[in-house]
Amino acid sequence: MELTFLGTSAGVPTRNRNVTAMVLNPLLARPGLWLFDCGEGTQHQMLRTAFNPGRIDKIFITHLHGDHIFGLPGLLCSRSMAGSEAPLTIYGPAGIREFINMSLKLSGSWAGFPLTIHEITEGLVFDDGEMKVSAVALAHPVECYGYRIEEHDKPGKLDAQRLTRAGVAPGPLFQRLKRGETVRLEDGREIDGRDYLGEPQKGKKLAIFGDTGPTPGALRLAQEVDVMVHETTLEAAMAEKANSRGHSTTQQAAELAREARALRLIMTHFSSRYDAAACLRLLSEARAIFPASELAEDFLTITV
């Protein structure tokens, strides 16, 4: 999977950072793109990338604050005007349906493609057998969720040479054995595919947090993920201010990454008070606790 940041600023855009949006490209897992949050100007940011809004088939909204959703009506309208007929599904907290429907209605706009809106609660929100997405409630002044994206484990490699030596000819039976099925050969023997499979390939795990202060559910969301994307709105010395507004500091995000045994922490959602030099100071605070911390920047792409 690849994750591209389209906006990394908290609350308002700056000269170098737009407000929150991220594109997840599952690559070989599926042809579509997934968008996480859609702050104002998201479609303008996409114009500076190779991403086509028509390829987005799922949008996951963490919460209804403007810096996370004000770009959504424009993106939907542009997608329609471009003639896209591909279905789109939007997931988000209660109120997301009213926001979208009212925005389109009052502006005399419409979605010229099948649009499905799911208002979510905690728990599993999507699973197609290859990937699943779960939502965990966070600590913010409005209803807010983080999303845990997990690939299902893949079967291990089929030992074709052993099967050939056992008298199984390559062909359709190999596909069934690859799935772990038991097949009966023409001579009456039964072959259990599980006996010829290597170790399963562990699926990747990614946690994308919405805005949040420290909360017990965060550990469940981030437990042993390959990549944890977490807001670091303010520096460690401003913890009281950050938490009172439902946000986290560098130190708190790094401590969570360490406790969750995440492999990487990607810091984002920086207050506009921090310029590029000040963000490096934020990075130092996080790395003092969790060395595998990185700064997100607009248009940064990471591989999960």
DSSP per-residue letters across 6-23: EE-BSSS--SS--BSEEE
Written as six digits, the tokens of 285 are 């605070």
216 contacts: CB under 8 Å, gap ≥ 6: none
Is 140 annotated among the ligand-binding residues? yes
Q: Does 68 appear as a known binding residue?
A: yes
Is 247 within any annotated ligand binding site?
no
Q: Which residue has the tokens 């599952």?
A: 26
DSSP alpha helix (H) spans, the chain:
42-46, 66-69, 72-81, 96-106, 160-165, 172-178, 217-222, 239-244, 250-260, 276-287
Residues 35, 39, 44, 49, CA torsion sign? negative
Q: Is 226 one of the catalytic residues?
A: no
Q: Of the listed 37, 67, 226, 298, which one is catalytic?
A: 67
269 is in an annotated binding site: yes
Is 187 annotated to bind a ligand? Reply is no
The reply, when asked if residue 152 is annotated as ligand binding, is: no
Altogether, the residues listed in the chain come to a count of 304
Pairing of strands 301-303, 2-7: antiparallel
Residues in binding site: 63, 65, 67-68, 140, 211, 269
Q: Catalytic positions, please?
A: 67
- Sequence ranges of the binding site for Zn(2+): 63, 65, 67-68, 140, 211, 269
